Amino acid sequence: MNDATTAREKLSADFHQVMDDIDALMNATTNQAEGEVKALRGRIRERLDSARDQIGQAQAEALARGKHAAKATDEYVHNHPWQAIGAAAAVGLALGVLIGRR
């Protein structure tokens, strides 16, 4: 796993934890709500639910895009094996040259 993927997963986990903490706080203060506090609590609940829905949709979309990219790559490699081997060799050579210069 690369650093970007690890950082993205950690950020997602942290965001979910914050949302869970807000949810717990909202549940803990249920009996203390009066007047404007009750209205504010309702707006926060709506925004929290909306944020959860949007995160779920974004995760599903990212997963679908990843699957599509993997399928397209697989099809290309099966249809053009020699071009894929050549491209991999070229990338490997370029990386070898760059690493060798350090």
The pLDDT, as a whole number, for residue 71 is: 95
Q: Is residue 89 over pLDDT 70?
A: yes
pLDDT confidence tier of residue 94, bands split at 50, 70 and 90: very high
The pLDDT, as a whole number, for residue 47 is: 79
List pLDDT tens digits, range 26-84: 776 666 656 666 777 777 778 777 877 888 888 888 889 999 999 999 998 899 999 98
60-69 as b/e, with b when 16 or more CB fall inside 10 Å? Answer: eeeeeeeeee
CA-to-CA distance for 38 and 8, rounded, in angstroms?
A: 35
The pLDDT, as a whole number, for residue 32 is: 61
The full DSSP string for 50-92 is HHHHHHHHHHHHHHHHHHHHHHHHHHHHHH-HHHHHHHHHHHH
| Domain residue ranges of the chain, discontinuous segments joined by + | 3-101
CA-to-CA distance for 32 and 30, rounded, in angstroms?
A: 6
List pLDDT tens digits, range 3-40: 666 767 777 777 777 777 777 777 766 666 566 667 77
Please state whether the predicted TM-score (pTM) of the whole model is above 0.85: no
Mean pLDDT of the chain: 80
- The terminus-to-terminus CA distance of the chain in angstroms comes to 24
CA-to-CA distance for 90 and 98, rounded, in angstroms?
A: 12
Residue 98 parent element (H or E): helix 81-101
